[in-house]
Amino acid sequence: MRSLVGQRAFVTGGSKGIGAAIVRRLAAEGAKVVIAAQDMISAEQLADEVGGQAVRLDVTDLRRVQQVVSETGPFEILINNAGIDQHGFFTQSTPDEWRYLLAVNLEAVFATTHAALPAMQEAGYGRIINVGSEAGRQGSRGGSVYAAAKGGVIAFTKSIARENGRYGITANVVAPGPVDTPLLRKAVEAGGERLLAAMKGSTLLARLGEPDEVAAAVAFLASPDAAFITGETLGVSGGMGC
């Protein structure tokens, strides 16, 4: 089934990990995808693979974010996937780290959404899917600022859903648990096998998720099958949210 034929999608952090899986899945469903990333080598290779477009973007540069979305749009689908975490207890963190985590994980979502919404409102259609985290619903030991940012993404998404339902626009969050990505593997290298075991043990299925499993949930929410779903947070976390 190619449910997204004729639609255009914008994906932040789309060059690797969950973002790359989302790009591939949306393209397989027929969408033309703009891949926004800092790693242009990976982004351009992926764009060649799926017949999409790669653009260099630092999501902390909010003016540039809005400019890129406006210049490459309009889009029927907006996927805010870019994210970053820094592990450590809150008392060991600094205001500069707080600002950076909030900029990447929350303020960038504001900027892309602000730029994409006017065209969606004019068209009377749009799908906004923000990649959050179960940390945004449950908190995170060693990731308090990240959890706060992802909690903000959930609240922001609900608000956008309330404001834009009358335009035929839906807004939802996909909340992954531990997913086998380069970012997670880097954390495991630092934390050791005990950390990996703890991550697996935090899920009811006792395993890590796969990027393709998150991408499948994103593709569903972007599809016509999810037309009556908005303001929701869908956990793709092996039952962590139960």
3-state helix, strand, coil in the chain (%, to 5): 55, 15, 30
Euclidean distance between CA atoms 26 and 108, whole angstroms: 21
Closest C-alpha among 210, 174, 183 to residue 21:
210
The single residue of 100, 125, 146, 167 carrying the catalytic annotation is 146
Based on the residue annotation, tell me whether 146 is a catalytic residue of this protein: yes
Tokens found for residue 160 = 């956008």
Q: Is the CB of residue 9 less than 8 Å from the CB of residue 53?
A: no
Q: Is the peptide bond before 74 cis (omega within 30 degrees of 0)?
A: yes
Give the DSSP per-residue string, 169-202: EEEEEEEE-SB-SHHHHHHHHHH-HHHHHHHHHT
Strand partners of residue 80: 130
Residues designated catalytic: 146
